[in-house]
Structure formats: structure tokens, C-alpha cells
Amino acid sequence: MEKVVIIGSGPAGWTAALYTARAQLAPLVLTGKQPGGLLTTTSIVENFPGFPEGVDGYELMTRMQKQAERFGAKTSFGVVEAVDFSKQPFALTVDGEKVEAETVIIATGASHKHLGVPGEDLLETKGVTYCATCDGALPVFRNQPLVVVGGGDSACEEALYLTRFGAVVYLVHRRDALRASKIMQDRVHAHTKIKPIWDSAVTEILDVKQDKVTGVKLKNLKTGAESFLECAGVFIAIGHEPNTELFKGRIETDANGFIVPKEGMMTNVPGVFVAGDCADHLYRQAITAAGAGCAAAIDAERFLSARNE
């Protein structure tokens, strides 16, 4: 039986692993389908302390993993299929195998939101993508008009990255001003390749018949006017939704599916803790996720200490 099982391997998961490993609890980290989490799809992370020149997202996650493993954290590339938090020890089904744990730290993060418009799903990987740093350099996008949908930091980062490859980058946003941080807004507005399209929404992605992206249909949300915009790629950056479906009915969540911490980082189930973007709908930063991972680890350690006294 494991003393600590950590579900997820982003900044929250690996920080929790580091702290529990240094407490000699030998945590087991279940990485899930995307080891390292969404940060591995980011090229340069400029706002994580300690890296004045920035750091590649994949490299940052690899360093965190090595640091945690140095102190005794165990890594399994398994996927959790079911959980039973109704009694101690907790039971998890991982790739068909049963794993028992005294405490569990949920750090499953969040996934990209979809637009939910015609053509989006059918043209995914055929011009529709959710990660510019993963796909932006593909030949199909080079010297072509590209569309980024969104208005936050992620959308701005995607747009700026795509200027290296696209002929022009249209930034489609539902409002008349960006929601991004001031520094990102300034960079976007200063770049001659980025053309904002305000007060507009993508209503369809074309062309399924050609089995590739040829453009998008737009609707102006103020005037109702519809238009067509030619492009070779659509990069969707409209936010994330928490990866908490597995815990529905077992762990308390809010209306949007984010897990709600009760005391410190403990959930409504004593011995089950939460950290990172699966519980954070406000900040959603690598550093805040890491901080939450630290807090969850300390809470788990204290919980185990109190049980054994």
C-alpha cells in the first residue's frame, strides 16, 4: 500500500511529489495520458521564478520530475480509470490494476476548451489545433494566413509564436479589448503581423469536404454581420476545463467542475487533497499550481502524522 499517491504530473503534481518525497513518504506519481501536463506544450515559460532567460515547458517538467525522483518519488505512466474514496485505504484502478493509498493528491490539471462549432472536431489535426508551439511550424501553416481564437495570455502567446511562420495572424476575440496581461497586450498590438478582429466569434470552420482548413465563418456579435475569412489553420485558445470527470460524485466540485478545497488543500473527503488547475479557475499559472502542490503535500504529511500519533 502506498502512503501517498499523486494523480497528475504537471507543476502541482511534481511539486507535491518533491515535498512528500523529501518527507520520506515515497510518493507514487501517476502521470496520466499527458506526462508533464499542458506545460509540456508550451515553448518558452518566461514567468517561472529562477529562469531569467525563460525555460522550455517540457524541460521545466523534466527537471521537476528528476528533482522529485532524486528524493525517492516513484513514477508510473499509468492512467487512473476509477477511484473509491468511500473507505480507507483508498482504492484506485490504474490500467486495470488495483492501487491502494492512505492519502491521495489530485493534481489532474485542466484541458483545452473547444469552440463546439461545425467543422472543429472533423478538422482537428487537419488545420485545427489547440497548441501553436506543437503544430505551428508544420509546412501546411508556413507563409499562410492563420487564425487564433481567444483574448487571454494563451491566445496572445499563440499569436506571437505563429508570427514566425504565418503570413498574417488574425486574432479573433469576442470582445473589443484583450483580457491578457498588459505586457502580452503590448506585444500583440506592436506586432505588424497580428491583425485583431474584435467583437467576433467563429461560427464554422471550413472545409470538411476538402478535408482541410480553408477558412472560417465569422459573426460580428454587435452587428450580427457574417463574413468569411480565408486561412490555413485555426488555433483555439479560449481557456481550459478541469480534468475532474473521474471524481464526479466522489469529490465536491463547483458548478464548473473545479474541485473545492475545504480545509487547506483537503477536499470534502479526509485524506484526499487537491492542487493545481483542477481546483483553480482564477490564476491558472505554473507557479500557483506549484505552490498549491507544496501546500497539498504538507497537508498530506500532517494528515499521516496525525493518524500515526
299 is catalytic: no
Q: Pick the catalytic residue from 56, 84, 95, 134.
A: 134
Closest CA to 274 of 256, 306, 307, 296: 296
Non-local CB neighbours of 186 within 8 Å, separated by 6+ positions: none
Q: Are 159 and 187 in contact (CB under 8 A)?
A: no
Spatial distance between the Cα atoms of 304 and 18, rounded to a whole number of angstroms: 17
All cell numbers assigned to 304: 499521516
Spatial distance between the Cα atoms of 31 and 76, rounded to a whole number of angstroms: 6
Spatial distance between the Cα atoms of 13 and 297, rounded to a whole number of angstroms: 9
All cell numbers assigned to 233: 489553420
- Give the gyration radius of the chain's Cα atoms: 21
Q: Pick the catalytic residue from 131, 156, 231, 278.
A: 131
131 is catalytic: yes
CA dist list (Å): 198 to 132, 243, 299: 21, 30, 45
Q: For residue 286, what is the enclosing H or E element? A: helix 286-308
Query: At residue 57, what is the residue type?
Result: G
CA dist list (Å): 137 to 18, 133, 143: 34, 8, 10
Closest CA to 289 of 23, 36, 88, 27: 36
Strand arrangement, sheet containing 226-230 = 200-206, 215-220, 226-230
User: What does DSSP say about strands 215-220 and 200-206: parallel, antiparallel, or unpaired?
Assistant: antiparallel
Owner of C-alpha cell 480545509 = 263
156 is catalytic: no
Q: Hey, how many other C-beta atoms are within 10 angstroms of the C-beta on 115? A: 20
Q: Pick the catalytic residue from 84, 95, 135, 153.
A: 135
- So which residues are the catalytic ones? 131, 134-135
